[in-house]
Chains A and B, each alone.
Chain A
Amino acid sequence: MDIIETKDVCVSYDKKLTIRDLSIRIPKGQITTLIGPNGCGKSTLIRTIAHLLKPSKGTVFLDSQNITQKKISDIAKEMAVLPQTNNLANDLTVQELVTFGRIPYRKRFASMSNLDHEKIDWALEKASLQDLRTRRLSTLSGGQRQRAWIAMAIAQDTDTIILDEPTTYLDLTHQLDVMLLIKELNEKEHRTIIMALHDLNHASRFSDQLIAIKKGQLQVSGPVQKVITQQNLRNIFDIDAKIIEDNSKPMILTYDRWRGETV
Chain B
Amino acid sequence: MNQRLKFSIHLIVSLLLLAILIILSIRFGANKNESSTVFNAIFHFQKNNVDQQIIRNIRIPRVIGAVLIGVALAGSGVLMQSITKNPMADSGILGINSGAALMLTVSFAFFPHLSTQGTTIFSILGAAFTSILVFVISSLKKSQMSPTILVLSGMAISAFFTAISEGLALLLHLKQDLAFWHFGGVSAVSWVQLKNLGPWIAIGIVILLFLAPSMNLLHLSDDSIKSLGRNINVIRILALICVVILSGISVSLVGAVAFVGLIIPHIAKFLIGTDYRQIIPLTLILGADLTVCADLIARTINPPNETPFGLIISLVGVPFFIYLARKDGNNA
Contact = CB atoms under 8 A, between A and B. Distances in A.
A74 B229 contact: yes
A41 B24 CA distance: 64
Contact of B227 (A14, A76, A85, A89): A76
B224 A83 contact: yes
B116 interface: no
Given A96-B274, A108-B213, A88 B229 contact: no
A255 interface: no
A191 interface: no
A73 B223 contact: no
B227 A50 contact: yes
Contact of B142 (A13, A74, A108): A13
A75 B219 contact: no
Given A13-B142, A83-B221, A88-B219, A73 B229 contact: yes
Interface in B296-322: none
Which of B214, B221, B228, B230 is the most central at the interface, judged by chain A CB atoms within 10 Å of its CB?
B228
A10 to B, nearest CB: 18
Nearest to A153: B227
B10 interface: no
A79 B224 CA distance: 12
B269 A91 contact: yes
A76 B213 contact: no
Contacts of B223: 47, 50, 52, 81, 83
Contacts of A91: 219, 269, 273-274
B271 to A, nearest CB: 13
A100 B228 contact: yes
Contacts of B236: none
A96 B276 CA distance: 12
B142 A52 contact: no
Contacts, number: 68
B211 to A, nearest CB: 11
B229 A75 contact: yes
Contacts of B213: 108-109
A86 interface: yes
B219 A72 contact: no
B219 A77 contact: no
B274 A77 contact: no
B206 to A, nearest CB: 15
B227 A80 contact: yes
Interface residues of B, number: 20
A181 interface: no
Given A88-B85, A108-B214, A103 B219 contact: no
A81 B227 contact: yes
Nearest to A14: B142
Nearest to B227: A81
Nearest to B277: A109
A196 B320 CA distance: 43
Contacts of B228: 76, 100-101, 103-104, 156
A156 B269 CA distance: 27
Nearest to A93: B274
B229 A72 contact: yes
Contact of A92 (B219, B221, B231): B219
Given A91-B219, A92-B219, A109-B213, A77 B224 contact: no
Contact of A73 (B217, B221, B230): B230
Contacts of B214: 108
28 contacts: A47-B223, A50-B227, A51-B227, A52-B226, A72-B226, A72-B229, A72-B231, A74-B229, A75-B227, A75-B229, A76-B228, A76-B230, A81-B224, A81-B227, A83-B223, A83-B227, A85-B221, A86-B224, A88-B85, A89-B219, A91-B219, A91-B273, A92-B219, A96-B275, A100-B217, A100-B228, A101-B228, A104-B229
List of 10 A-B pairs having minimum Cβ-Cβ separation, nearest first: A76-B229, A73-B229, A81-B227, A103-B228, A89-B219, A104-B229, A83-B223, A52-B223, A91-B274, A72-B229
Interface of B: 85, 142, 213-214, 217, 219-221, 223-224, 226-231, 269, 273-275
